Chains A and B, each alone.
Chain A
């Protein structure tokens, strides 16, 4: 039972990072139609910025803020400079993002070598509760994720910006006629998703060492979770992220660790075949851009 709870907690912290990526993917892909496979590299850059900031002697909280700002800014530049021109042809955007994967990974390798990078754990306390060891850093990651997810969810469902955004997804032309600056919302969603990836990267490096190639597997998990949960559906992404993270946590804990990366792919393939709109229903694919 102790192992069970232990693995549950570990799974929950992995699930947090996956959920942060998945929310970015689900918002960007589901609402704007941009298929950005370089989202994993955004996460990796967030981790690298955190690593640089911590190595330069800054505190972890400042490093996290820097990571969010840097990746958000990068998202803004890339959306304005590249993805904006691919809105009419999402496949082109997808291919551009593949080019970005290669460029971003190797720029990082070029400047900061391909080796693993880690930072000292920002919180070192470990609580012992009835034989279960709870690392406070994991609890921190989970709490930050909950707060961010709740905030994003509220922004999308309850604020007038969220309502305008959902209107744009529903019917782009009518929304534009109602005075909603649709293009600006696309940029906004892209920047928000990128910033979340930056945060995810900062939290990931607090848990595990990362390499310039960490983004590759993480982005597939993000897409898997976004598609399983239903595109554009934050609630679905959270639920699917929890399922995937916990399944991975348990399988690692019970000795099937070499298969962990396979689960997300198998799950995603099955869900797309059986329920193309995801388990929890989402936008019926990206509509805003087409």
Chain B
């Protein structure tokens, strides 16, 4: 009964993703597909960020660095060891997870608001190290990553096929993040978010679980990095410095971090808004910034959370914090 209830919260996302997977039937333009693929790689990282920020309540401002570790791991593996996409995927995910642990242990020790500053600093540091890494990291120009992505002998490099593959990965990420939210582990993380001291008094090892959540988000980021590297064919340090990190945080805030639809909505909105409104990059960034501020001030649960709440109010006149309970329907069971 409870599982059915939880499954129902996953259903809308699966329906939306199925619709998205059907888009190639309408022969979309290459530009649309490219935008959608880069949005998709972002969404995968955002699902990791939603576990960290939405469930555990800690924000990483260096998340693009974790994506970068995955991307560079894939590129270096391909160059030095001739390792292909599918082998690089778990290795890069592991590399990002390890990097997340290395960053997380000292950063979470300092705690509080300093954590975001620490992650920001580590992210910047990584970009500087990559820039100064000489030939090994390709310095400021970065690395090329050649080599086709094959699946069961089929070449996936074709834009439409790559698009479908990314959609599959996004689906996997959404399901994984949903599974974490509805597991007892997710409940532990929410307990830490709501009241750290209380959680600790219940015997929850707060420090270890926070680092754990950061490592989990690192796995998502690493996978996103590999997909991004193979899609772009070229990576450089500036793609993973502070500003991409800000945009990732922005996307997760705009979509709302606590709902399963949030990361998907945030990633898609931020990628396609400038197309729809026909804005140039400068104007669209101003719009993003204003949106971010507006969302934080007016809709703390993100856009989707706000819409859900507005609908609830409109239909049943209950201005309760339903949206939040939606993300955590199992809490009532305790």
Contacts and interface: CB of A to CB of B under 8 A. Distances in A.
B207 to A, nearest CB: 14
A92 interface: yes
A156 to B, nearest CB: 22
B293 interface: yes
Contacts of B128: 258-259, 261-262, 265
B285 to A, nearest CB: 4
Interface residues on B, range: 35 or more
A259 B132 contact: yes
Contact of B113 (A94, A261, A266, A273): A94
Interface SS of chain A: helix
B117 A223 contact: yes
A46 interface: no
B293 A96 contact: yes
A234 to B, nearest CB: 20
Interface residues of A, number: 40
Contact of B249 (A95, A106, A107, A272): A95
A276 B297 contact: no
A100 interface: yes
A99 B121 contact: no
A58 interface: no
Contacts, number: 114
Contacts of B125: 262, 265-266, 269
Interface SS of chain B: helix
B243 to A, nearest CB: 8
Given A262-B125, A272-B118, A99 B296 contact: yes
Given A99-B296, A110-B283, A262-B128, A273 B110 contact: yes
21 contacts: A82-B293, A82-B297, A90-B113, A94-B113, A95-B249, A96-B293, A96-B296, A98-B61, A102-B285, A103-B285, A105-B285, A106-B285, A220-B124, A227-B117, A259-B128, A265-B128, A269-B106, A272-B118, A273-B106, A285-B112, A285-B113
Interface of A: 35, 37, 82, 85-86, 90-92, 94-96, 98-103, 105-107, 109-110, 216, 220, 223-224, 227, 258-259, 261-262, 265-266, 268-269, 272-273, 276, 285-286
